[in-house]
Amino acid sequence: MDANLVGLAGKVAIVTGAGVGMGAATARLLAARGAKVIVSDINPATANETADAIRADGGEAHVVICDVAQESQVEALVAETVATFGRLDCAVNNAAITPDVLPIHEADMAVFDKVLNVDLRSVMLCMKYEIRQFLAQGSPGSIVNIGSVSSVRPQATNAAYVAAKHGVIGLTKTGSLEYAGKGIRVNAVLPGAIDTPMLRGALETTGFTEADFAPALSLFGRFGRPEEVAEASAWLCSDASSYVTGHSLAVEGGYLTR
C-alpha cells in the first residue's frame, strides 16, 4: 500500500476527549502520521499533557477546551480549528463518560440524561459542525465516531450507556447516507475492553483484576491497548480507507464473536 495513503500529512484533525486514554493515544498517533491535531478535552490539564507530548515528538497540536455536550462550545471548537489551521479534514469524536450502573427500575434519570448528552448528543453536535465545515470547504472529509461493543451487544445495568452507544451507530449510518455524495465519509470504531483510566477505575470499584475479567472479554485473554484503537481511527481518517463509509469497525479482541 502507498504510504502516502496511510499517512495524514497536511491534514487537520480534531480529537475530542483527547486528554487521556484512547483519545490521547489517537491524538498522538494522528500527529505522528503528519496531521495537525486539535486536542480537545473538558480538562485543561490533561489536554495540555497530550499536546505537550505531541510537540515533544515533533508534531503540531493546539488545545481547545470544550464541553462537547454544549452546542455553543462545539461550534466554537470547529471555528477555532479553522482559525488556527485553516481547515478541517478529519475528526475523531471520542469524548464520553463512565457508564451508568443501575438496573432500569432503579435508574437515576439525571444520570441517564447526562450519559445521553455526553455520549450521544455530543456526537450529533460534533458531526453537525464538522460536516458544515466540510461542506463550506467543498472538500472531502472523514469522521470517526467512537462507539463501543455496547453499541451492538447490551450490558445489564448500563441502559443509558447502551442506548447512547447504539445511537452512535445510527448517527454514523445516517451521516454516511446523507453525505457520501459530497465525499464525506462517516464511520465508527467499537472498542471492547481497553486498558484506560475509565476501565481501571471500574476494576477498582468492583474489586476485580484484569486476570479475572480479561478472559471473558477477549479471545486473547488480555485488555486492549489504547494505541490499538487509535490505529483503527487513524486508518479510517486516512485516504487508505477511501471506499469505506457507514461501517462500524470493532476493536475488541474477538469479544463479539462469542
Catalytic residues: 161
Distance, first Cα to last Cα, the chain: 32
Our CA angle for 225, 226, 230, nearest 5°, is: 125
> Cell digits for 84?
488556527
Class of residue 182 by CB neighbours under 10 A (exposed 0-12, middle 13-18, buried 19+): middle
Amino acid (one-letter) located at 246: G
Q: What Å distances lie between residue 196 and 110, 141, 200, 201, 226, CA to CA? A: 25, 28, 6, 9, 7
Amino acid identity of 125? L
Q: Quick check: 198 and 22 in contact, CB under 8 A?
A: no
